[in-house]
A = this chain, B = another copy of it.
């Protein structure tokens, strides 16, 4: 099953990869709309789904948050900012031995895991510092 590259699909992929950010579907919609004004939000959603299904991009489902899409399809972890919602990639060694050992106790057959590190990004730290000075 060969993946046909339509103009819309290509544009969506290009803008995601070019910007190297973890966009939500509607953020990407706003960007692409400027270059292709008649594109539909549903098309963005559908193509992001298709592209991640095909392993060309990654899908990022962070707990309790809107879906984001990752220009890098390789398996890796993420860190995200609780203030501005920004997401960045992490490359933590994925041995996960302890997780597997514990999973056996519960009787699970483990296929993987997801690690989300939570914090405040540099930008938001700076903004907070600036605010403190004013007071």
Contact = CB atoms under 8 A, between A and B. Distances in A.
A103 B90 contact: yes
Contacts of A106: 79, 88, 90, 121-122
B111 A118 contact: yes
Interface residues of A, number: 38
Given A67-B64, A99-B90, A102-B90, A113 B108 contact: no
A108 B81 contact: yes
Interface in A91-132: 91-93, 96, 98-99, 102-103, 106-122, 125
Interface of A: 61-65, 67, 77, 79, 81-82, 88, 90-93, 96, 98-99, 102-103, 106-122, 125
